[in-house]
Structure 1
Amino acid sequence: MRVFNSDGSEASMCGNGLRCVARYACELLGKQQLSIETMKAVLAVEQTEDIFENIPTFKVEISPVSFAVKDLPFNANSETFINQELKELAPGLTFTAVAVPNPHFITIVDSEVLASDVQEKLSTYVNGKNPYFPDGVNVSFVKLLESGSIFVKTFERGVGFTNACGTAMSASTLVTCLQGENKVEENIAVYNPGGKVNCQVHKNNDTYTIDLIGNATYEFEVQVELNDALTAFSTTSKKEFPEETVAYRAMQEACQQYAKNYI
């Protein structure tokens, strides 16, 4: 699997994209489990119990996980950057830098900071010309909800603010476990502007992996002429999947209402 962002840049991995590829490939091949090769690793995927009524759900492995700043890369004055301030950029906030393998810069905030323009200003800066992140970085602000539930808002490198970033939700779950807000090996509900996923962090000695569990929803199927797609994109046919779209919208509305009660 290869993933390209809307600006043409190639991502190391895409957790949401991996779930979608997992469903497509599993159904095409008649399998419940597969291994899918990505840029940095071969990852296990499988169909699992529905996350919401009538929502086809897939669990995918998110790894490798690294806290070494050189793997983002991040020009810091230490080999790792875990729950530390970067006062020049965001005084009063503590961040953790982690590659999964996409680079992420994550902080836990309150509702006031989440609703402010701090994230947009910071994210725009570190994804432009700056001395800290030469290749840019995904920036996530995390709000703790009730026990076992978090809300994640992500500014995605090469994209901007997004309804959901799979690797960001996975990395954010890991950060909350590192800070004692959640526990490894337990199911964590991760809400986002687009809906929700579940994540589980696993630890083996000093090595972490994360399970990302969520929907893989067909919206439509199209046929294209390849030569046309390389110039002026056009479709020769289009098939909608309204029954899945309706089910997903029901989940989205329920999740948004739940998160709204805590933000």
Structure 2
Amino acid sequence: MKMEFTKMHALGNDYIVINEFDGEKVKEEEKSYFAKKICRRGFSVGADGVIFVQKPTSDEYDVRFRIFNSDGSEAEMCGNGIRCFSKYVYERIMKKNPLNVETKGGLRVSEMEIEGDEVKKIKVYMGVPKFKLKDIPMVVDGYSEDDEFLNGELELKNPYLPKVKLSVVNVGNPHAVIFVEDNGIDLDFVRKHLDVIGKEIEHHKAFPERINVHFVKVLNPNEIRIITWERGAGYTTACGTGTTASVIIAHKLGKTGNKVLAHLDGGDLEIEIKDDGVYMIGDAVIVYDAKLINIGW
């Protein structure tokens, strides 16, 4: 197998980008298995996921974004991934700004800050959040599919945190947001037990399609700090949709204002909530171009 690809990252969230705009490089039925193989660190290229750049399915979009996690599952959307994608498309495929992007989670619009021909920052319209349980999806006793779950309690089975207060929202993909101060824990506790607690919540029976999990500390009305456990990837240094979700929930619960700077292990993201929806602002980096000779294992 010989295939050209580009390695990119946004806040340390790293991706293998494959250009299928002019034709298929990986067969549709093999994409999941391919992602699982090529993302394995130490054995192959290694990444949090694989992004495919494709032609859109209708004229209302400029380009189609698809992303597969390191476990082979296809995600609806990815905030850090779409910034990498947008930079790649502008610099390598089409000089279109703003860019109307087709995702499994719906339309996303990327506006790019350009210097010369290089994309320096990307502002992404993340759409309008959904809170109803049917949109997550989430199934929990005592709640209907049209209810919201805000700072509700779930029972857990791990020995470190027997129950957790969390809120859920869909911003193109589903997220559970946990404020450490509402659960009597701190971020050091989260780091120590993330592999256990994050994984349990991701796979909790309340979430039939699993869920992304974020532990948030509110620093002040304009700043938060986040530790992320991503569905299908585990711990990551940052999550763009997760940051968006965290700010949306913090604002909805009255913990922050509508414009928030979020600190993640990989760096910072700006999120702004407006009347028409939510916007995410951050950068992305092209690390190298390469040719895959052998998937490695």
TM-score, L = length of structure 2: 0.67
Measure how far apart 1:158 and its partner are. Answer: 0.4
Measure how far apart 1:182 and its partner are. Answer: 1.6
Q: Does 1:168 align with 2:230?
A: no
Measure how far apart 1:213 and its partner are. Answer: 0.7
Measure how far apart 1:91 and its partner are. Answer: 5.6
Any residues of structure 2 matched to 1:62-77 within 5 Å, and which? 62-76=126-140, 77=142
Give the corresponding residue for 2:99: 34
Give the corresponding residue for 1:122: 197
Give the corresponding residue for 1:106: 177
Q: Does 1:86 align with 2:131?
A: no
Unaligned runs of 5+ in 1: 235-263
1:25 is paired with a residue of what secondary structure? helix
Supply the distance in 2 between the matched residues of 1:88 and 1:145 (Cα, whole angstroms): 27
Measure how far apart 1:215 and its partner are. Answer: 0.8
Equivalent residue letter for 1:82 = L
Equivalent residue letter for 1:213 = I
Q: Does 1:43 align with 2:108?
A: yes
Equivalent residue letter for 2:256 = N
TM-score, L = length of structure 1: 0.75
2:241 is paired with a residue of what secondary structure? helix
Runs of 4+ in 1 over 4 A off after TM superposition: 87-93
Give the corresponding residue for 1:211: 279
Alignment check: 8 A CA contact 1:199 1:212 kept: yes
Supply the distance in 1 between the matched residues of 2:208 and 2:67 (Cα, whole angstroms): 20
Any residues of structure 2 matched to 1:1-263 within 5 Å, and which? 1-28=65-92, 29-48=94-113, 56-76=120-140, 77-78=142-143, 79-88=147-156, 93-110=164-181, 112-116=185-189, 117=192, 119-128=194-203, 130-184=204-258, 186=259, 188-204=260-276, 209-224=277-292, 232-233=294-295
| Bigger relative contact order, structure 1 or 2 (CA pairs below 8 A, ≥6 apart) | 2
Change (3 A) 1:93 1:150: same
Measure how far apart 1:46 and its partner are. Answer: 0.8
Equivalent residue letter for 2:101 = I
1:56 is paired with a residue of what secondary structure? strand
Supply the distance in 2 between the matched residues of 1:168 and 1:152 (Cα, whole angstroms): 9
Deviations 1:117-163 (A, max 9, x none): 454433212334x4211221111000112341111111001000100
Alignment check: 8 A CA contact 1:60 1:213 kept: yes
Measure how far apart 1:87 and its partner are. Answer: 4.2
Unaligned runs of 5+ in 2: 1-64
The structure whose residues are more often strand, as a share, is: 2
Alignment check: 8 A CA contact 1:11 1:102 kept: yes
Measure how far apart 1:92 and its partner are. Answer: 6.6
1:24 is paired with a residue of what secondary structure? helix
Please provide the CA RMSD for this pair. Answer: 2.4
Alignment check: 8 A CA contact 1:119 1:141 kept: no
Kindly, what percent of the aligned residue pairs are identical?
Answer: 31
Equivalent residue letter for 1:69 = L
2:286 is paired with a residue of what secondary structure? coil
**Mean alpha-carbon deviation: is it higher for 108-117 or for 154-163?**
108-117
Alignment check: 8 A CA contact 2:153 2:166 kept: yes
